[in-house]
Amino acid sequence: MNEEERVITEETSETAAETNTETETASVAETAESVEAEAATEASAEPAEEVKETAEETDAEEAAEAGAGETEEAAAAPEAPAETMADYDDAITASMKPIHEGDILKGTVIGISDEELTVDLGIYTDGVVRLADASDDPDFSFRDFEVGQEISATVIRRDNAQGRIQLSLKAAAAVLGWERLQQLEKDQSNITVKISEAVKSGVTAYVEGIRGFIPASKLSLSYVENLDEYVGREIEVRVITAEPENKRLVLSARDILREKEQEERKQRISNVEVGLVTEGTVETLKDYGAFIDLGKGMSGLLHVSQISQQRIKHPGVVLKEGQKVKVKVIGVKDGKISLSMKALEDAQAEEVEEETYKMPKAEAATTSFASLLKNIKL
């Protein structure tokens, strides 16, 4: 090998060595960068994993709390009892109960027409009430009933042509109605009735489907001349006689009217002031005085000692029934008014004395002791 070839070979070797060195250096650098990247990735992955774990733990805790809450609510809420056949025993027993004519059944109105009432009896079939079996009241109407209303009726036929039970309100009223009427008589409760017709010496009205009689004397506080004027009117009454064995029902409005009048009278009297001067009419004369009609349902006692300044033995000496007199109220107590004519005479006398009395002049009132003794004889 000559010198030139040797030199070229050495240069080639050096170049290869340098190339190997650069390659090794690049590999080392790449390895270092790879290590750093992995380290950075691991470093960034750790917080993410921690956050993920924290979120998962939080979700787990919330789920646990929610589950616990639902469990507590489920435990607190009472469980609906399971239905059994025993719950329907009463309904089944009622539906199987044998029905006899004359039985009084309770039911609920489920249908209303002008001619009949349909009733749910809670048994194998419905009941029906015809208008003819409802009431003797000529003004009776099924339109006064409401769907859902509970009624009591008597079985008059177990199976009519439509396969329903035929009922009667009228027959039930003959039993239950009288029981209620007797209780009303005992309690003296007020009830409102509508006058159906005018008859001899009174009017009639229906209560619980039963015809009652109101005597003319029990219809008003005063005499009723025309009973027809009351037909169709609604008034308050009380049961004063209820005799189912005699089918006798007597009603009265008079006691209620009297109580209302007395209450109104007390109210008016409470507004009367002592000292009031008014005019009245002599109603009646008694040994001890006279009763004076003051109007508006009020009257007062004019005692014999309050009639005149002079002493009299009987009010008739000065007064007569129907006479108009002026009186003064001198007392109001316990719903009673005390009157006086004498007090007015005293007042008039005082007025006259005040009008006629004149004060003498100073010079006329002056006199001497000698003039006072002038007409005296010793």
Residues 6+ positions from 243 with CB-CB distance below 8 Å:
249
Question: What whole-number distance in Å separates Cα of residue 164 and Cα of residue 117?
Answer: 12
Per-residue pLDDT at 352: 44
Would you state the pLDDT for residue 376?
Answer: 45
Strand partners, 129: 117, 167
The model carries a pTM of: 0.53
Going along the chain from its start, the domains and CATH numbers come out as 103-173 (2.40.50.140), 188-258 (2.40.50.140), 272-355 (2.40.50.140)
Could you read off the pLDDT of 294-323 as tens digits, one per residue?
Answer: 988 889 999 999 999 888 999 999 999 999
pLDDT the model gives residue 74: 47
pLDDT at 87: 59
pLDDT of residue 59: 55
Angle at 205 between CA 201 and CA 210, to 5 degrees: 120
Given this model, what pLDDT does residue 162 score?
81
| The pLDDT value given to residue 54 | 52
Residue of 77, 151, 78 whose CA lies nearest to 110: 151
Residue 238 contacts by C-beta under 8 Å, 6 or more apart in sequence? 184, 185, 188, 189, 190, 191, 251, 252, 253, 255, 256
pLDDT at 372: 41
Neighbour count for residue 227 (Cβ, 10 Å)? 18
The rounded average pLDDT for each run of 10 residues, N- to C-terminus, in the chain (378 residues) is: 48 48 46 48 46 52 54 54 60 66 92 93 91 87 92 88 88 89 95 94 92 95 93 96 94 95 86 91 95 90 93 92 94 90 75 46 46 47
352: left (phi over 0), alpha (psi -120 to 50) or beta: alpha
Long-range own/partner contacts, residues 301-306 (CB < 8 A, 24 or more apart) = 301/336, 301/337, 301/338, 301/339, 302/327, 302/339, 302/340, 302/341, 303/338, 303/340, 305/342, 306/330, 306/338, 306/339, 306/340, 306/341, 306/342, 306/343
